Each structure stands twice: as structure tokens, then as C-alpha cells.
Structure 1
Amino acid sequence: MPVVLQMVLIGMAVVALLGVVLEDVIHINKAKVTLFLGTISWLLLFVFHGNGADGEKVMEGFQENISEIAGLWLFLVSAMTFVAYLNKKGMIENLIYLFLPKRISERSLLFLTAIFCFVFSSLADNITATLVSVTLILSLNLSRKKTIRFATLVVFSVNSGGVALITGDVTTLMIFLAEKVSIIDLLLLSIPAFIAVLVLTCMQARGMNEMVEVQIHRTDVRKVDIAIAVVFLTTIIGTIIGNVLFNIPPVLTFLFGMSSMFLIARFFNEDIEADPILEYIRVIEFETLLFFLGILLLVGMLKEIDVLDSFVQLYEVLPPFAASYLMGILSAAIDNVPLTAALLKAGIVMSSADWLALTYAVGVGGSLLVIGSAAGIVAMSKVDGLTFGSYSRYSFALLISYTIGYAIVYYISSVVIS
């Protein structure tokens, strides 16, 4: 491959990364930047490799890349369609107010918020979990400083809750689909991840002594909404059982669950022209899906030009325990999706225990900076006063919590799996 072409392609990947980090500065959506550069990079590979043996190699690499992306996309579309429906019908909001009293102390509310974010993000995508949680916090009319403190906890809790299930975090799903860890192994992450959340909550609870009045708004729950919620939970449980017992791909189980949701709406005569059930596919976060598409195209291109070997070198210099810990911290500056994709494509050889530790690291490490995860970006766009600087005031507490969680993950995985 010509050196000039390789440098141009690497430059495109760097520009794409800068576009993600500086999205709020340049005011260009990161999905647009990554998708444009991801597609044009593959076009250049095809143009400069012609129809010979090199061209066939590029075609094989592209087809492998697209196959991986398609599986991830279909899974996310299915899961996000469920959540979009339940959120619009008020089921999620009702669930929150079911456990909230009308009057509660700020400290108790902080712990309840952490627990809700942790549990809910395991079932829903991080973006939805953050939006729901932040909306609740803003309705409480807290001071700006306390609102920022709550929002910081939301970001860390959402990212921590998502790492233990493939439905909760894209990087967890990516590592699972690459067959580096099993679903049973991933469930081990829930305990240390929750301990890390409790550690941060205790640190954030200092000075939270006032009482809060909660304005409770409940919506009517219909039988069809309850039925679809049951199908969603059944799909999640069925995905775990089906994969463990019969090695059924999660994407197949979730597509079956989504199709069941469509038929149930028709059975209850709720699939009407004014509110067609298929319409909920259109209201999911396609911006996020397009971002993943662009990023994964770029990472696939970098693998094709043999640039990902540098990631392997870090694991050759340091033991996996230390290297993965640093990767988690690095994911706070580099979006964890491209970082995880790059590590998977680099061909790193590690034990299941080491891959499990890496799953926690890249899933939670992005919480150290507000720009390091989708949850942080969403919270920053919704909470007035939550900026890179105001969030960074809690970076030390976040680092302590992340480090404690990582150490427990590594210990448990080493003992149980090894």
C-alpha cells in the first residue's frame, strides 16, 4: 500500500476522532463526520487497490466489516424500539414515581437515583436511561451545584449499570459478539459495578441534607402496554437463557421479541392509523446508530491497513491488568466504541478474566470525563451549567470509584473464571 494513502487514511481517522471530541465546539454532529469519513476511507481503499488480489482482499475485509455492523445494528434497533414505545406510553415514568415518595431527603434521593440508573440502564440503552433520569432531576428544581452533582452520579451509574448485560452497553455487546466473554461471565460485573456506584454516591452525598418535594405525575396504564413490557422483560431473560443453553444469537431473540410486540399491538386493536406500532422504529436514536456505523467503518479500515498493531504493543509491554485499566482511562478522552472496536480488531490474545476486566474498563472508564460517553454528552446537552469544567471537579471521586470497581472486577473474575 502506498505510504501516502496510508497516511491519508490515518489522518481521516484522527479527524473523525477530533470531530467526536470537539462536537460541541465545531457544532457538527459526530454521526455526520464519522459516517462521511468512514465511507470515503473505504472508497479510497477500493479505488487504489483495483481488481487484482489486493482488491479481493479489500472486498473480503469490507464484507466482514459490514456483517459485524449489521448484527450490532439489528440488535440495537430491536432493543431501542421496545424502550421508545414504553417511554412514550409513560410506563418508565410510572415506574419511577411508584418508588418515589412525595417528600424525600436529598441524600435518600441521591441513593434512589443511583440505584434506578444502575438497574434501568441494564435494560435500556444508556441514552434513554440518561434522558429519563436527567428529566426527573430537572423537575426537582435543585440548585445548579446540586443538579450538577446529581447529573455526574447519573452518568457514572448509567455507564456502570450497562456493563453487566448486553442490552445495557454497546461495548459490552461488541465484546460478547466477538465471543470474548459469555453472558454468565458478564453477570459477574454487576456486583463490583454496583459497589463502585455506591462508593461514588457516598462521596457525592456530603452536604445533601435538605428535603425535596417531588411532583408526581402518573399516566394511565393500558393492558397492551403491560403486555409489551412483559414481552420486553421476557425477551431479555430469553436472550440470556437461549444463548447459554442453545447458543442462540441475541439479535435473533430480540428480533423475535420485537415482532411479537407488533403482533400483540394488533391483537389488542392498538395498531391504529393514528398510532401505528411500526412508527416507533422511526423514533429511536438513529443518530446514535449512524455514529456507530461510521465509527465501525473507520475501525475496519484501520484494521485493513494494519494500523491497529499499536494497541497490541501496549499489551506486550504491560500486563493485561494494567493495560486494560489504562484503556479505561483512555476511553474518557476517546469514545469507548471506536476504542473497543480497535482492540477487538487488533487480535489481542487474553484470558476470559482479562476480557471481562476490559469490558468493565471501557464501559465505565468513559465516565471520568463528560465527553467520554454518550450518557455524558446527553447529560451535558440537557443540564444547564454541566460543562467539561464543572464535571471535571468530580473527576477524582470518579477515578476512585472506577479504580475500586475495576480492582474488584479483576479479583472476582480471576478467582471465579480462572
Structure 2
Amino acid sequence: MKDTIKLINITIGLLMFPVMAFAQTEAAHAAGSGLAGTVYGYLAVIFFIGAYALVPLENNIHLRKSKPVLLAAGVIWVLVSLAYTGIGDTHTAHDAIKHSLIEYAELFLFLLAAMTYINAMEERNVFQRLRAILVSRGLSLRKIFWITGILAFFISPVADNLTTALLMGAVAMAVGGNNKGFISIACINIVVAANAGGAFSPFGDITTLMVWQKGKIAFSQFFAIFIPSLVNWLVPAVIMSLFVDKDVPEALDESVTMKYGAWVIMGLFGATIVTAVCFHNMLHLPPAAGMMLGLGYLGMFSFHIKRHENRTNKYDPILGAREIDCTPSSDLTSFDIMKKISRAEWDTLLFFYGIILCVGGLAQFGYLALISQFMYLDLGATWANTLVGVLSAILDNIPVMFAVLTMDPAMSHGQWLLVTLTAGTGGSMLAIGSAAGVALMGAARGTYTFGGHLKWTPVIALGYALSIICHLLLNRALM
């Protein structure tokens, strides 16, 4: 009977592998392991699976992904509290949820600052200017294929893979026009490049950010997987490029000028990244605190932009002369940092809250030890970390990485680099495996599809496998 119960728990644990949460105390793990087979534990699993199953259907049923997971988070923590109260423990659940809230707060503040900068640069026409330059050059389709891939690979480490994919996808769609075949293969290339580029930078993906904030890999150490990441994109890109026409479409007459302060905002974003790194490495403070200081840089400069634009945009209605008036303007077109903050991806930020609280609650029921035993002791670290990438192609890579960080297996530095590489790039094998792929499917609806991406999955998987081999060879001293 005990073996049967253990088998059931392991099975549920494996199903819940991509949704386990942040590490808790050893006492909580010990207490939670006795609750894995309770009604409360199974109900928590059912609620989470039900809520998470609605996430991929967001575009079909028009239900924002944050709503079901927010509901599930609250219900799961009620179950956690009832389970621990039933065994006479009124403190563990309280301490555990506080831990999850702190973890979420750090992630939230970091992403809020980064999203605000991205929105500010978009409003200043930074990305539109880059797009206009590319579509007006009269380049061949094959050159556009390579240029968008290269830019996606090198922009995503700073601007994140989702923003980069949407920007480069807009270029491919503008140049491709009615050529659906080119747009589809170009979007696939962009998704692979953006995910691979984001893997060797803490700022390139949520998973790499979590690994960095947890202190598993230092900022400079991420660059050890630069070449494996490059192989991950370059191998499928070379093969796919052979199927891209060399036709030269007519150049589009598009001209965009960046607005006042655009270059300074880009510089401030760079300074913000440096500040976050210094907070983490030199001051031993959370990187999120450094990002919020950087948001202060943008806040002060936004005040200067608003005063400048109020001066230059206001004219005397009779004389037509400029009014030198520095009073605040109610003009809706004036630059306001609060507007940029309000345009953050709140659905995504709330989704992260729901996921972290859900998996934080599920972790209290004790499935974590079972999964850790199977993945990292029975299979071994290399195979387990390779499997992480495969799972991230089927499910979201964020809860998958949460699971690994929660387990906190005794791994070498090289293995932590490997799981960072696989979690960041494994999602490229399926269109639904990464935020970049899902976003581009929405932007190029009917042209870039799940089926179209699936045709190239073997080629992408080849790049994935070779990138792992490359890492094992180049960084064998770290393994």
C-alpha cells in the first residue's frame, strides 16, 4: 500500500514538475512531505492544473492568462493553511507565503522598471526608427532573414526576447508583404534567435533573471554559454536560410525620426543595467533595488523632457510666437513617466504573481523531494537539465525554472549554466514553447502558425542538441 501511495505521489509530482515553487525551509519540506497524499494536496493539484490549462487558450477564449491563476493561487493557499492547521501548525503556512511574496516583489519591481524603459524607448520612436531603416534599404529576402536573426540574437540580451521578437517580426512582415512562406520561416528564425540570445544574459529572459537573482550564476559568468547559445541559433538558421528566396522586394518608403531625448533614455537604460549589476555584485543588495534607482533616473529626465516639449509645442494663438512657459501642460501627447508605467504588461506581471503563489503553495505539500530524487539522482544532472529544456517546449519555461531553483540540487557551476541554457532555448522547439513564439503567432496570425513551426522542429532540436554538446566540451572544466 505504501508503495502504491508513493507511486501515485511520484506520478503527480512528475506532472507537477514544471509548476513547483521557490525553496522553503527544511522544516517546511519535512512537514509538507507528510501532506502529499492528503485530500488538500490533491485538491490543490487539481485547482492548479485546471487554472493552468486555461493559459494556452487565452487567444481562443479571450480570457486573460492572469485571471485563472490568480483565483487558483488564493484557493491553494486556503488549502495549505487548512492542511497545516489540521496538524496543529499555525506558523509554517504564514512564513511560507511571506517568502513567496518577497520573491515575487523582487521580480515584480525588476520587471516593472525594465518594462517602463522599453515603453519609453518605444514612445520615443527608437524601435520604429530601426524598423524604418531596415524596410527602406531594398534588401533581398535572404539578407532580411539573416539581419533580423542577427539583430534578434544581439538585442534580446538587453531588451528581452519578447520585445525583440515583436520588433524583428514587424520588419519581416513589412518586407515580406504577401509572401507568407518567407514571413513564416523568418518568424521561426527570429524566435530561435531571440530565445538563444536571451539565454546568455540575465536581462534576456525571466529564467536567466531568476538564476542571477538567486546567486547561482554571477553576471559575467553567463557569457560562458555565449558560444553554445550561438550554436543553438546558427545551426537551424543556416539550414533554414537555404530555403529562403533571394528575391529583392520593392523598398518601402518609410522614414521615422526619433523624438527628443531618445538617445539619452537609451543611455540611462544602460546605466540602469550597470546599477543593478553593481547593487548585486558590489553592494550585495537585490538587483531590483538597483533597477528602481534606475527608474528614478528616467523619472528625473522625463520631467526635463516634459518641460522641453511644453516650451516647444505651445504657441501664442495671435502672434504665433513660442510661449516660454514652464507650467505643467495637460497635453496628452507630452512625455509622462507615469503613463509609461501604466502601459507595463500588467497581465503578465499579475500572471507571475499567480504562478509564484500557486507553486509556492504546491511546494508545501511535499512533491518537491520526490521530483528531485527522480530527476537529479536517478537520471543524473546532465540528463535532467536536458529534460528541463524539452519540458519548457511543452510548458512555460518560467515554472520549469522555478522547479529547479526550488529543488536546489547539488550541481556544479557548469550544470547550472547548462540548465540556464536549456530552459532558455528549449522553448524554441515549439511555437507555444516561449513568450516570443506565442506573441509572434498573434502578430502574424494565420501566417506564422504552430504547424508551420512544427515542420522545422527537427532542425531546431538539432541545434538544441549541438548547443548542449558544445557546452559540455567548451566548459568541461566547470562540470
2:343 to 283, 288, 292: 283
User: Among residues 295, 302, 309, which one is paired with 2:369 in the alignment?
Assistant: 309
Given that residues 162 and 363 in structure 1 are in contact (C-alpha distance below 8 angstroms), is that contact kept between their aligned partners in structure 2? yes
Alignment partners' CA distance in 2, 1:333 and 1:272: 50
Q: Which residue of 1 aligns with 2:434?
A: 373
Q: How does 1:36-185 map to 2 (within 5 A)?
A: 36-50=71-85, 54-98=89-133, 102-140=137-175, 141-185=177-221
2:414 is the counterpart of 1:353:
yes
Q: Residues of 2 paired with 1:222 and 1:143: CA distance? A: 33
Structure 1 residue 127 displacement after superposition: 2.3
CA RMSD of aligned residues (A): 2.1
Q: Which moved further from structure 2: 223-232 or 90-99? A: 90-99
User: Could you tell me how far apart the structure 2 residues matched to 1:24 and 1:100 are?
Assistant: 29
| 1:207 Cα deviation from its structure 2 partner | 2.9
**Is 1:30–2:65 an aligned residue pair?**
yes
- Stretches (4+) displaced over 6 A: none
Q: Distance in 1 between matches of 2:469 and 2:448?
A: 29
The structural deviation recorded for 1:226 is 1.6
- Distance in 2, matches of 1:206 and 1:359, equals 30
Name the CA distance, whole Å, in 2 between partners of 1:302 and 1:315. 20
Measure the CA separation in 2 of the matches of 1:330 and 1:142. Answer: 35
Q: Structure 2: give runs of 5+ residues left out of the alignment.
A: 1-34, 310-327
Q: Tell me, in whole angstroms, the C-alpha distance in 1 between the residues paired with 2:118 and 2:437.
A: 20
The whole-number CA distance in structure 2 between the counterparts of 1:242 and 1:46 is 36
CA contact (8 A) 1:122 1:162 kept: yes
CA gap 1:241/1:406 in 2 versus in 1, 3 angstroms: farther
Aligned to 1:199: 235
Cα offsets for 1:30-87 (capped at 9, x unmatched): 2212221122211222244449852210011100011001000100000010001101
> Residue 188 of structure 1 aligns to a residue in which SS?
helix
CA apart distance, 1:241: 4.6
Whether the 8 Å contact between 1:129 and 1:158 is mirrored in structure 2 is yes
Aligned to 2:45: 10
2:5 paired residue number? none
**Does the alignment pair 1:340 with 2:377?**
no
Alpha carbons of structure 1 residues 7 and 84: separation in structure 2 relative to 1, 3 Å: same
Deviation of residue 342 (structure 1)? Answer: 1.6
Quick one: distance in 1 between partners of 2:165 and 2:253? 19
**What is the match of residue 321 of structure 2?**
none
Percent of aligned pairs sharing the same letter = 26
| CA distance in 2: counterparts of 1:287 and 1:280, whole angstroms | 15
Equivalent-residue separation in structure 2 for 1:308 and 1:49 (angstroms): 17
**Separation (CA, whole Å) in 2 of partners of 1:112 and 1:17:** 36
User: Partner amino acid for 2:54?
Assistant: G
The CA deviation string for residues 323-375 of structure 1, in whole angstroms up to 9 with x for no partner, is 11111011111111111112211232211110110001011101111111111
Pairs aligned (count)? 417
**What SS class does the counterpart of residue 331 from structure 1 fall into?**
helix
Determine the structure 2 residue equivalent to 1:318.
379
Measure, in 2, the Cα distance between the counterparts of 1:101 and 1:405: 35
Instruction: Please say if residues 80 and 125 of structure 1, whose CA atoms lie closer than 8 Å, have aligned partners that are also in contact.
Output: no
TM-score (norm 2): 0.82
Tell me which residue corresponds to 2:424.
363
Larger deviation, residues 72-81 vs 162-171: 162-171
Deviation at 1:168, TM superposition (A): 1.3
- Which range moves more in the overlay, 262-271 or 156-165? 262-271
Comparing 13-22 with 354-363, which one deviates more in the overlay?
13-22
Q: Distance in 1 between matches of 2:287 and 2:233?
A: 28
Between structure 1 and structure 2, the one with the greater Rg is: 2
In 2, the alpha carbon distance for the partners of 1:68 and 1:184 equals 23
Instruction: Structure 1 unaligned segments of length 5 or more: list them.
Output: none
Aligned-partner Cα distance in 2 for 1:82–1:148: 30
Equivalent residue runs for 1:266-281 within 5 Å: 266-268=303-305, 269=307, 270=309, 272-273=329-330, 274=332, 275=334, 276-281=336-341
- In structure 2, the CA distance between the partners of 1:355 and 1:216, relative to structure 1 (3 Å rule), is farther
Distance 1:292 1:355 in 2: 23
Q: Distance between the aligned counterparts of 1:204 and 1:142, measured in 2?
A: 19
Residues 144-163 of structure 1: CA distance to partner in whole angstroms, max 9, x if unpaired?
12211111111111111111
Query: What is the SS of the residue equivalent to 2:139?
Result: strand
CA gap of 1:40–1:216, structure 2 versus 1, over 3 A, is farther
Distance 1:310 1:413 in 2: 30
Residue 234 of structure 1 is matched in structure 2 by 271
Residue aligning to 2:14: none
